[in-house]
Amino acid sequence: MRKKTFAAAALLAAATLTLSACGNGDDDTSPVAVVSGGSGSGKAATVLDQPFAKPDLVLTDTHGKKYDLRKETKGHPTLVYFGYTHCPDICPTTMSNIAVAKKALPKAEQDDLRVVFVTTDPGRDTPAELGKWLKGIDPQFIGLTGDFGKVQAGARALHIAVEPTTKDKNGKLVSMHGTQVIAFSPKTDAGYVLYGELATVDVYTKDLPKLVEGAKP
Amino acid sequence: MRRSAVLTAGALAGAVALTGCSGSGAESGTDKAELAVSSSYMPQPVSADMAAGFLTITNEGAAEDTLTSVTSDVAGQVTMHSTVGGAMAEKSSFSIPAHGRLVFRSGGNHLMFEELKRAPKQGQTVAVKLTFATSGPLTVEMPVKSATYNPTTGH
């Protein structure tokens, strides 16, 4: 079926070619089939009309201590992301982008900002593993691990869907990351801006000075 | 499957020859895949044992081909993945359509370098060998970029 469509398209292209032929031999008008998984939504930041309440999430930090998200980040500009360390692409890129952008802030604002990475793969991401990984990105970043059910509920409160780590048919562990970073305001403690996977260093560098004040980017 | 593609290409070539002005239709007469690799890079990995890699494979030819395996001198294993909504799925092959391209880019399809033998650093290159179902293998010297490199902005 697909082949037929392709053949028809090719014939059509050939017909077009012959009609306009004689002279311009270069057929740079040939259709290019793009095979890729990129999401087409070009916008990196979305300001929410209806902000999210900060999830009531109590987990374990990279020092093995209890960490109450609401209590610890109250009154601080806070970025929250759900990911896992055995993730080659989006998770390290997202956290590295934020880390680089953060360095452009004045020292006091850097210290005020809370960047919280919540693992979706607590089985592999122990406090020690998570700590080692985050230290390579930014030692100030906070890593949280613990019961997956709690993590999933926290993510769901922010409309982020994550599923537990599973084994694929080759017996390899497959985990899932969230596709958004949520920025919480230091004034209201509500999550009011979403950043998608397309958010670059430049986007965060431009927006962080606003976010640390709780202003709209 | 393959045969029908060849037949189609043959019919196409015939059509061009019949209507062609000087038989210069030969440039579209090839019935093979013609592969080239561009835009390859590896973000400097955060993890000591895992890295991602991205590249584009363009097929100028009139036949499709399939990327069947990837190997590298820095990794014990290189696997190919697609990403859908935050979940990645390992795939054993990727098709490169005729007159089309296969894109590995951040957030979408990606190569995963596992069991790293050394930590790739920004400024280095990593040798990557791509093996195809039909075409001969291609070797790419993949540059290692910063952890935050964005191919759109180039930094």
Of the listed ranges A35-49, A61-75, B55-69, the one predicted with least confidence: A35-49
For residue A31, what pLDDT band results from cuts at 50, 70 and 90?
very low
* B65: in domain: yes
Does B89 touch chain A if contact means CB atoms closer than 8 Å? yes
What does pTM read for this prediction?
0.77
* B151: in domain: no
Is A176 in contact with B87 (Cβ distance < 8 A)?
A: yes
**B131/B60 same-domain check:** yes
For residue A33, what pLDDT band results from cuts at 50, 70 and 90?
very low
**B24/B43 same-domain check:** no
Supply the mean pLDDT for chain B.
84
**B55/B10 same-domain check:** no
Which chain B residues contact residue A136 at CB under 8 A? 46-47
Asked if the model's pLDDT at residue B12 lies above 50, the reply is no
For residue A42, what pLDDT band results from cuts at 50, 70 and 90?
low
**B75/B87 same-domain check:** yes
Give the pLDDT confidence score for residue B27 in this predicted structure.
46
Q: Tell me how close the Cα of B71 comes to any Cα of chain A, in angstroms.
A: 16
**B136/B67 same-domain check:** yes
Asked if the model's pLDDT at residue A68 lies above 70, the reply is yes
Asked if the model's pLDDT at residue A136 lies above 60, the reply is yes
What is the tally of structural domains in chain B? 2
**B87/B121 same-domain check:** yes
What are the b/e assignments for B107-139, b being 16+ CB within 10 Å?
bbbbbbbbebeeebeeeeebebebebeebeebe
Give the pLDDT confidence score for residue B148 in this predicted structure.
92
Stretch A100-119: mean pLDDT: 97
* B128: in domain: yes
* B153: in domain: no
Does A90 touch chain B if contact means CB atoms closer than 8 Å? yes
- Testing the interface with B: which of A89, A91, A94, A200 to mutate, by most B Cβ within 10 A? A89
Instruction: Tell me which residue range forms the domain holding B5.
Output: 1-29
| A111 vs B86, residue with greater confidence | A111
Cα–Cα dist B12/A28, whole Å: 17
* B137: in domain: yes
- Testing the interface with A: which of B41, B47, B74 to mutate, by most A Cβ within 10 A? B47
Cα–Cα dist B31/A209, whole Å: 56
For residue B30, what pLDDT band results from cuts at 50, 70 and 90?
low
Asked if the model's pLDDT at residue A44 lies above 80, the reply is yes
**B19/B38 same-domain check:** no
Give the pLDDT confidence score for residue A179 in this predicted structure.
83
| B155 vs B92, residue with greater confidence | B92
Residues 111-150 of B with CB under 8 A from A: 112-113, 147-148, 150
Does A179 touch chain B if contact means CB atoms closer than 8 Å? yes
Give the pLDDT confidence score for residue A16 in this predicted structure.
37
**B38/B63 same-domain check:** yes
Give the pLDDT confidence score for residue A4 in this predicted structure.
44
Q: Tell me how close the Cα of B106 comes to any Cα of chain A, in angstroms.
A: 6
Residues annotated within a binding site of A: 87, 91, 177
Stretch A75-104: mean pLDDT: 95
Identify the top-confidence range among A8-12, B27-31, B135-139: B135-139
**B60/B43 same-domain check:** yes
What are the b/e assignments for B14-42, b being 16+ CB within 10 Å?
ebbeeebeeeebeebbebbbebebeebbb
Asked if the model's pLDDT at residue A134 lies above 60, the reply is yes
Cα–Cα dist A105/A128, whole Å: 28
Stretch A90-96: mean pLDDT: 94
Cα–Cα dist B87/A176, whole Å: 5
**B38/B89 same-domain check:** yes
Q: What is the domain partition of chain A in residue ranges?
A: 1-33, 45-211
Is B50 in contact with A34 (Cβ distance < 8 A)?
A: no
A85 to chain B: closest CA residue? B47
Asked if the model's pLDDT at residue A107 lies above 80, the reply is yes
Supply the mean pLDDT for chain A.
84
**B113/B73 same-domain check:** yes
- Summarize pLDDT for A167-205 with one digit per residue, the tens: 988 888 888 898 899 999 999 999 999 999 889 999 999
Asked if the model's pLDDT at residue A41 lies above 70, the reply is no
A7 to chain B: closest CA residue? B8
For residue B125, what pLDDT band results from cuts at 50, 70 and 90?
very high
* B150: in domain: no
* B79: in domain: yes
Does A94 touch chain B if contact means CB atoms closer than 8 Å? no
* Architecture of the A45-211 domain: 3-Layer(aba) Sandwich (3.40)
Asked if the model's pLDDT at residue B13 lies above 90, the reply is no
* B3: in domain: yes
Which chain A residues contact residue B89 at CB under 8 A? 168, 174
Give me the CATH number covering residue B114. 2.60.40.1890
Residues 5-64 of A with CB under 8 A from B: 6-7, 10-11, 14-15, 17-18, 21-23, 25, 27, 30-39
Does B97 touch chain A if contact means CB atoms closer than 8 Å? yes
A35 to chain B: closest CA residue? B102
Does B66 touch chain A if contact means CB atoms closer than 8 Å? no
**B106/B135 same-domain check:** yes
For residue B87, what pLDDT band results from cuts at 50, 70 and 90?
confident
Does B3 touch chain A if contact means CB atoms closer than 8 Å? no
Stretch A36-45: mean pLDDT: 51
Stretch A116-125: mean pLDDT: 97
